[in-house]
Copies of this chain bind each other. A is one copy, B any other.
Amino acid sequence: MTARPVLGILGGGQLAQMMALEAIPLGIQCHIYDPDPVAPGRLCAIHHCAAYDDTSALLRFAAAVDVITYEFENIPMSCVTFLNTHKPIMPGITALQMCQDRLTEKTFARSLGFVTAPFVDLVPTLSSSDALRTVGAPAILKTRRMGYDGKGQQTIQNAEELDVARAAYGSYELILEGMVHFRHEVSIITARAQDGTTVRYPLIQNTHRQGILRTSLAPAPCRTTELEALADQIASTVLDALGYVGVLTIECFVVDAPGGSTLVINEFAPRVHNSGHWSIEGATTSQFAYHVRAVMGLRIDPPELRGYSALCNLIGDEPAHSDIPVGVSIHRYHKTPRPGRKVGHLTITTTDHTALQHTIEVCNQLIGVRIT
């Protein structure tokens, strides 16, 4: 057996699974590192089942792989810095640190000249009323770290509520963000190779409910030439500033601006992203293939879209195969369904916009969620 390149993935969920499914045809084998014995990625990768602070397991993992990446940004930094002394970690530690903390990511975005929501670092010495005066009420209280799918977030109406909430969060570091009155939510999914080549999908339009992504449309119906140009500028500026390698996702709000609309940066995810899952069917190169190619030092070429795509998350439940409309692809993650848990997704890709609308209606009924 000729030695084949091996990619190590921290985290073994559905994102790792979909990366491994793309890696194999490229001649790359994946190892996942995940303490969950039934991590979905185990189906198509070697599974290192151990805790993130198990140094001997981490050493074995590092020894088995050529490059290390990750499928979630909330990895303990101690784990990552330890591994990085043994094997290259991509995207790098700088990007990971930036994205782990809502305060640093917003500060970073502003330092590059881009717009974010108003925010303040809720240091203990800052009074709740002063904080609310800065960002405006109502506001959103968020933990600086470890938030995902709307977890660690709370809407705040006044200083009293904020006092109570701050006390409840105890020693957690917090950030207070002003509300953004947005027209749409979009994501920028972009990738940068080791040679500095960058690629980007058109803007993707997202619908969330209860903090969880429900549906994505690609390309975004709300896109304009101006918004795409701004997305290009954001993507290339951020990627270059970080010397980034891999797929980067930037979630933005589309807000009214003089003469049109503009993008307000909400958050970064230094990884493949749920809003890009449609790209498996909907583009000639999926986000998973881009990420694998980039971190493994392969060339990346611009994507071509195969038409209009829609993504519907399957949350808490999976439809029977027989109920899935003709022309719709299902991806099941092999996870036990429970309320609020992402267990799969549906993708519709078509060159016929009328057919897309019709199929979306059928999926809406199937999963009980409205795709706008």
Chain A residues at the B interface, C-beta cutoff of 8 Å = 1-2, 4, 17, 20-21, 24-27, 29, 38, 43-44, 281, 284, 298-299, 301, 304, 306, 318, 321-322, 326-327, 329-332, 334, 336-337, 344, 349
13 contacts between A and B (CB under 8 A): A1-B38, A1-B334, A1-B336, A2-B337, A17-B24, A21-B25, A24-B43, A24-B334, A25-B330, A298-B321, A298-B322, A301-B326, A304-B327
Whose C-beta in chain B lies nearest to the C-beta of A301? Answer: B326
Task: A18 to B129: give the CA distance in the assembly, Å.
Answer: 60
Residues in B with CB closer than 8 Å to A321 are: 26, 298-299
One complex includes copies of this chain to the number of 2
Task: A183 to B346: give the CA distance in the assembly, Å.
Answer: 44
Task: A27 to B14: give the CA distance in the assembly, Å.
Answer: 12
Whose C-beta in chain B lies nearest to the C-beta of A323? Answer: B299
A149 shortest CB reach to chain B, Å:
21
A51 shortest CB reach to chain B, Å:
20
Residues in B with CB closer than 8 Å to A334 are: 1, 4, 24, 27, 29
Query: Nearest 8 pairs between A and B by C-beta?
Result: A27-B332, A44-B44, A25-B331, A301-B326, A298-B321, A1-B38, A2-B336, A24-B43
- Judging by beta carbons under 8 Å apart, are B322 and A299 in contact? yes
A226 shortest CB reach to chain B, Å:
29
Identify which of B20, B26, B301, B336 contacts A327 (C-beta below 8 A). B301
Residue from A20, A43, A304, A329 having most chain B Cβ neighbours under 10 A: A43
- Judging by beta carbons under 8 Å apart, are B26 and A330 in contact? yes
- Judging by beta carbons under 8 Å apart, are A284 and B327 in contact? yes
Task: A301 to B29: give the CA distance in the assembly, Å.
Answer: 32
A279 shortest CB reach to chain B, Å:
14
Residues in B with CB closer than 8 Å to A304 are: 327
A343 shortest CB reach to chain B, Å:
9
Residues in B with CB closer than 8 Å to A322 are: 298-299
Task: A265 to B327: give the CA distance in the assembly, Å.
Answer: 32
Task: A338 to B96: give the CA distance in the assembly, Å.
Answer: 42
Whose C-beta in chain B lies nearest to the C-beta of A25? Answer: B331
- Judging by beta carbons under 8 Å apart, are B284 and A332 in contact? no
Known interface pairs A27-B332, A301-B327; 20 further A-B residue pairs with C-beta atoms within 8 A, sorted by A's residue number: A1-B334, A2-B336, A2-B337, A4-B334, A20-B44, A21-B24, A21-B44, A24-B43, A24-B44, A24-B334, A25-B329, A26-B321, A26-B330, A27-B330, A27-B344, A29-B43, A29-B334, A44-B44, A298-B321, A299-B322
Residues in B with CB closer than 8 Å to A17 are: 24
Task: A282 to B281: give the CA distance in the assembly, Å.
Answer: 11
Task: A246 to B85: give the CA distance in the assembly, Å.
Answer: 50
Residues in B with CB closer than 8 Å to A1 are: 38, 334, 336
Whose C-beta in chain B lies nearest to the C-beta of A46? Answer: B43
Residues in B with CB closer than 8 Å to A331 are: 25
- Judging by beta carbons under 8 Å apart, are B318 and A27 in contact? yes
Whose C-beta in chain B lies nearest to the C-beta of A24? Answer: B43
Task: A299 to B324: give the CA distance in the assembly, Å.
Answer: 10
Whose C-beta in chain B lies nearest to the C-beta of A324? Answer: B299
